[in-house]
Chain A
Amino acid sequence: MVKPNLKVKIGGLELRNPVIAASGTFGSGEEYKDLTDLGSLGAIVTKSVTLRPSEGNPPPRVVETPSGMLNSIGLQNDGVDAFIKDKMPFLSKVKTAVIVSIAAHSVNDYAEIAGKLDRIKKVDAIEINISCPNVKGGLEFAREPGSAAAVVAKVRAASKKPLITKLSPNVKDITEIAMAAEDAGSDAVSLVNTFTGMAIDICAKRPVLGNIVGGLSGPAIKPIALRMVWETAKKIKIPVIGMGGIMGYEDALEFIIAGASAVEIGTANFVNPKAAADIIAGIEKYMLQEKIKNIKELTGCLRT
């Protein structure tokens, strides 16, 4: 049988396959260059970058929880100018799509970062992180349809790149935010970011994380993330990129069947640096077995 077609389109951007490394879990790709074939990935989303350098939260910043982990990194990064100078030269040479994640405290900052990235050729798309639970005010834009739309509209005006809006699960109704992002000109939405959570050291009677609260990721969140992707995909026409606890190709397929056009792999990269590559191979094998020629046939094929 012929090789199945795994290509997917996110706005104007065509990806070799639907498996993407998630923001904050894959650095700028360079950290994993010796451990996996970066060129085999559908795309890499880089760690969220802010307008100015940001030092991040006090340690401890990560802790394992049952089937998951909490993190409170707090968007540590050197700022967008340093990102372009220090990280883009490597990323320009990687043979995969580069999606740059951006985060900010104001609508104008989002637009300014997007404007700077718009001039960089190898930036294939922008993921607007309106959903970071680990910085003060980081969640505000993701909470209300109006503020989410304001960010997307301003970034849309500042950049011609395909835009992906990354949504928070820590909201009343994630589908409303997704619809607002679509109306404001986003080319796709990605969900979910982490769920706010915490862990306590009962001996010290202190929070385990330096920031007290953090974001929960990993297999523990998968069923909730999947439900949110399913609900969201029914309500919007733009592509949905699904994530949350994907460890193997079976998890990825669940998201795709629920309505995702592509998936992002986060925590799994820590467990197995070849996780994304293994997932691509697994999806391909599944398609061969099920005689599915094009991955698009799978997106949203859920029978209810």
Chain B
Amino acid sequence: MIQSAGKVISNRSVKPGYYLMAVKCPAVAKKAKPGQFLTIRCGNGTTPLLRRPFGFHRISASGFEILYERIGKGTAFLSGLKPGDEIDVLGPLGNGFAIPRGKKDFVILAGGMGVAPLASLAESLVRIKKAEVCAIIGARSEKALLCEGHFKNIGIRTLVATDDGTCGKKCFATDVLNDFLEAKQRLRPVIFACGPGPMLKAAAHISKKRGLECHVSLEENIACGVGACLGCAIKTRSGYKLVCKDGPVFNAKEIIW
């Protein structure tokens, strides 16, 4: 991990309320892996005070992108940044997605903003020889559906579910997952999931029932981000673990939901 100045290259709204920011920051990008995260100091004041965590949406040698939703003071600050502005970046933090060796079949399960860190994972997965990757994206409505085009562009079969039926099937992403696994019984895919707690819990349940390996990326309120304050604890079968240091990616069977 390193604390480094990043330079905003671009920062645009991809849909109302959702932004994609590209940052030049080779020191952090060089070490970053899909599933790890970074924190950004949002301004110099005392409100917001704590750094805000974001997943690496895309990673290159010279920088990274974050995909974020404007929901409060910190993300409002970020959404106002212009190309050329400098930001204080700390990363990469935590452990990324561990891709099991020898596996060829993968399912990416994204709910809401959970899609953000899964794009860089998808790019790694498609580079594996003969890999079959399927992405299932769930969102509240078409207005909050992100990355569908990106997944399709890199050649991934992409299924969509929305709560209100404005795009794809009108159901939960985990319903689509169930149907997919039911139809492809001979497949033993590894599932990578990121999204709201209830979705991850359902994904953990489905994968347990079918005996599939499932990795989930979790969120908790983060203060230090480096494992010092013990603030982002979650309950696991081996006691409390830290989202920032032991995660954010965990094997779903480890988590006590």
Name A residues whose Cβ lies closer than 8 Å to a Cβ of B. 24-27, 31-32, 34-35, 47, 55-56, 58-64, 66-69, 71, 73, 76, 218-220, 247, 267, 269-274
Assess whether A59 is in contact with B220, with CB atoms less than 8 Å apart.
yes
Contact with A along B114-137 (1 / 0, CB 8 A): 000000000000000000000000
CB distance from A194 to the nearest CB of B (A): 12
Assess whether A73 is in contact with B231, with CB atoms less than 8 Å apart.
yes
For A58, the closest partner residue in chain B by CB is B235
Instruction: Tell me if B227 is interfacial: C-beta within 8 Å of chain A.
Output: yes
Which residues on the A side are within 8 Å of B232 (C-beta)?
Answer: 59, 61-62
Assess whether B1 is in contact with A25, with CB atoms less than 8 Å apart.
no
Partner of A63, one of B221, B229, B234: B221
Which residues on the B side are within 8 Å of A71 (C-beta)?
Answer: 223, 229, 231
Interface of A: prevailing SS: loop
Assess whether B50 is in contact with A31, with CB atoms less than 8 Å apart.
no
Instruction: Tell me if B233 is interfacial: C-beta within 8 Å of chain A.
Output: yes
Partner of B224, one of A34, A60, A67, A270: A270
A35 to B226, CA, bound (A): 10
Assess whether B46 is in contact with A62, with CB atoms less than 8 Å apart.
no
CB distance from A96 to the nearest CB of B (A): 16
Instruction: Tell me if B90 is interfacial: C-beta within 8 Å of chain A.
Output: yes
Assess whether A270 is in contact with B223, with CB atoms less than 8 Å apart.
yes
- Assess A34 versus B46: contact at CB under 8 Å? Given A71-B229, A269-B228, A273-B90: no
Assess whether B240 is in contact with A271, with CB atoms less than 8 Å apart.
no
Interface residues on B, range: 20 to 34
Assess whether B49 is in contact with A59, with CB atoms less than 8 Å apart.
no
Interface of B: prevailing SS: loop
Which residues on the B side are within 8 Å of A218 (C-beta)?
Answer: 46, 49
CB distance from A48 to the nearest CB of B (A): 11
22 pairs of residues in contact across A and B, judged by CB atoms under 8 Å? A24-B230, A27-B224, A27-B227, A27-B228, A31-B226, A31-B227, A32-B226, A35-B90, A61-B221, A62-B222, A62-B231, A63-B221, A64-B49, A71-B223, A73-B229, A219-B46, A267-B49, A270-B223, A270-B225, A272-B3, A272-B88, A273-B90
Assess whether A34 is in contact with B1, with CB atoms less than 8 Å apart.
yes
- Assess A271 versus B41: contact at CB under 8 Å? Given A59-B235, A68-B49, A219-B46: yes
CB distance from A200 to the nearest CB of B (A): 15
CB distance from B52 to the nearest CB of A (A): 10
For B225, the closest partner residue in chain A by CB is A270
Which residues on the A side are within 8 Å of B1 (C-beta)?
Answer: 34-35
A71 to B50, CA, bound (A): 13
Which residues on the B side are within 8 Å of A60 (C-beta)?
Answer: 220-221
Which residues on the A side are within 8 Å of B229 (C-beta)?
Answer: 24-25, 27, 62, 71, 73, 270
Partner of B239, one of A25, A34, A55: A55
A275 to B220, CA, bound (A): 24
Among all A-B residue pairs, the 10 with the closest Cβ atoms: A27-B228, A62-B231, A31-B228, A67-B46, A219-B46, A270-B224, A62-B223, A31-B226, A270-B223, A61-B231
Instruction: Tell me if B48 is interfacial: C-beta within 8 Å of chain A.
Output: yes
Contact with A along B197-212 (1 / 0, CB 8 A): 0000000000000000
Assess whether A59 is in contact with B224, with CB atoms less than 8 Å apart.
no
Assess whether B49 is in contact with A219, with CB atoms less than 8 Å apart.
yes
For A72, the closest partner residue in chain B by CB is B231
Assess whether B235 is in contact with A64, with CB atoms less than 8 Å apart.
no
Residues of chain B from 1 to 39 with CB closer than 8 A to chain A in the complex: 1-3
